[in-house]
Amino acid sequence: MKIKNIIIHSFLAIGLLVPGISAADRIKDLASIQGVRNNQLIGYGLVVGLDGSGDMTTQTPFTVQSIINMLGQLGVNLPPGTNLQLRNVAAVMVTATLPAFAKPGQQIDITVSSMGNAKSLRGGTLLMTPLKGADNQVYAMAQGSILVGGIGAGNAGSSVQINHLSAGRIAGGAIVEREIATTVGQGDFINLELNSTDFTTVNRIVEAINGLHPSTAAAIDGRVVQVRAPADNSQRIMFISQIESLDITPARAPAKVIVNSRTGSVVMNQAVTLETSAIAHGNLSIIINTEPVISQPGPFAQRGETVVAQRSQVEIRTDEGNLMLLPNGADLGEVVKALTAIGATTQDLLSILQALKAAGSLRAELEII
């Protein structure tokens, strides 16, 4: 089968973060204080005021049951066997994130999502809904008008387009009713937890903290740094503020290649090189080899030494005789570009990258999503 110059419907994105000047990051961007965390809240409620786009009550009996229970609590008792045919009510799940140190009376954002067959929540109002935590205790009460996202008008005369209609948000739609106790550290120590495990970064954090406050920080493992902090609460907060503002240079992440099999995207976190290899895939032939390049001083030179470097080249051929040579180095990004230039499909790229990884030529972690 011949490879033709076709437009691949899936978009190919090659993200390269070439190693260069390493930028310093604050510790607060790389780690968090152990125990200072968010908590998830969830609740079940009703949305009313919909313009005929609510649940079909014959197919969602839980909506009818919720309406009857709510009316009973408000003093409205319906006769047994009443068949409600309402189209302006929808049963929804309400979710929110309770941040650390949130106090009663503070407002938090909530997300409202339909759980029945409502066509749209646009224009609806969420009735008072208790939001509970994992311990089944009520921590917030939610209520308000729902804003369905994705509304945007184009030029004059164009129609308004609305995206997903079965979910929306209410900014500040819940009021915190109960505080979750949050402790900063245990005893004389606080623990810094890195966002990702890295022994080199942990060591650099320890050195930076000890440079400011000698003999206060120690590495527990590749993710946790234990720091001795003042016992007084106000001094401890000031101490943490100083630590969070320290700049360090994080270690380079391991080489990784991520391939999205649905969109054809190929993303690399740094320049990934390939070892000597040869691949035959369909009517594609790929040869990657390395040859020594010797550089030595000229005759009668008083100083200088002979240097042996490695130069790689990539040769890609097709049955049609197409040839593409990359003499400047066996770089994976250049290989992917060359393959797409001669018409390789997304499936070809996936198969070739998997083969390179299995053969040990691809010196990076390969993740396919």
Specify the CATH number for the domain of residue 212: 3.90.1150
| Same domain? 45 vs 172 | yes
CA dist., res. 59 & res. 46, Å (int): 16
Long-range contacts of 216-220 (CB under 8 A, 24+ apart): 220/191
| Same domain? 359 vs 338 | yes
| Same domain? 65 vs 29 | no
CB count within 10 Å of CB 138 equals 13
pLDDT class of 208 with cuts at 50, 70, 90 = very high
* Domain end among 176, 197, 232: 176
The reply to whether 294 falls in a domain is yes
Which of these ranges, 59-68, 108-117, 250-259, 315-324, has the smallest mean pLDDT? 315-324
The reply to whether 154 falls in a domain is yes
Backbone angles phi, psi at 124, to 5 degrees: -85, 165
CA dist., res. 232 & res. 220, Å (int): 24
Q: Specify whether the backbone of 321 is left (phi greater than 0), alpha (psi in -120 to 50) or beta.
A: left
Nearest of 248, 251, 237, 252 to residue 208 by alpha carbon: 248
| Same domain? 204 vs 163 | no
**Averaged over 171-194, what is the pLDDT?**
88
| Same domain? 43 vs 172 | yes
pTM > 0.75: yes or no:
no
Residue 247 β-bridge partners: 26
Alpha helices of the chain — where are they, by DSSP H?
27-30, 61-73, 199-212, 233-244, 332-341, 346-359
| Same domain? 161 vs 244 | no
Residue 286 has pLDDT above 80, yes or no: no
**Averaged over 214-242, what is the pLDDT?**
90
| Same domain? 275 vs 188 | no
The reply to whether 5 falls in a domain is no
Residue 114 β-bridge partners: 92
The reply to whether 82 falls in a domain is yes
Residue 135 has pLDDT above 80, yes or no: yes
Domain count, the chain: 3
More confident residue, 83 or 152: 83
What are the tokens at 288? 């990657």
What are the tokens at 35? 């125990």
CA dist., res. 168 & res. 1, Å (int): 49
Angle between helices 233-244 and 199-212 (to 10 degrees): 120
| Same domain? 219 vs 259 | no
Q: What is the CA radius of gyration of the chain?
A: 30
The reply to whether 307 falls in a domain is yes
| Same domain? 66 vs 157 | yes
Residue 304 has pLDDT above 80, yes or no: no
CB 131 within 8 A of CB 39: no
**Averaged over 249-266, what is the pLDDT?**
80
Please give the pLDDT value at position 43. Answer: 96
CA dist., res. 9 & res. 43, Å (int): 41
Residue 327 has pLDDT above 80, yes or no: no
| Same domain? 67 vs 164 | yes
CA dist., res. 274 & res. 267, Å (int): 16
Residue 147 has pLDDT above 80, yes or no: yes
Residue 178 has pLDDT above 90, yes or no: yes
CA dist., res. 65 & res. 82, Å (int): 11
More confident residue, 185 or 252: 252
CA dist., res. 62 & res. 85, Å (int): 13
The reply to whether 134 falls in a domain is yes
| Same domain? 321 vs 279 | yes
More confident residue, 57 or 42: 42
More confident residue, 156 or 51: 51
| Same domain? 151 vs 217 | no
Residue in the block written with tokens 């550089």: 295
CA dist., res. 367 & res. 369, Å (int): 6
Please give the pLDDT value at position 310. Answer: 47
pLDDT class of 348 with cuts at 50, 70, 90 = confident
Helix, strand or coil, per DSSP, at residue 351: helix
* Domain end among 223, 248, 273: 248
Please give the pLDDT value at position 253. Answer: 80
Domain that holds residue 73: 39-176
Q: Share the mean pLDDT of the chain.
A: 77
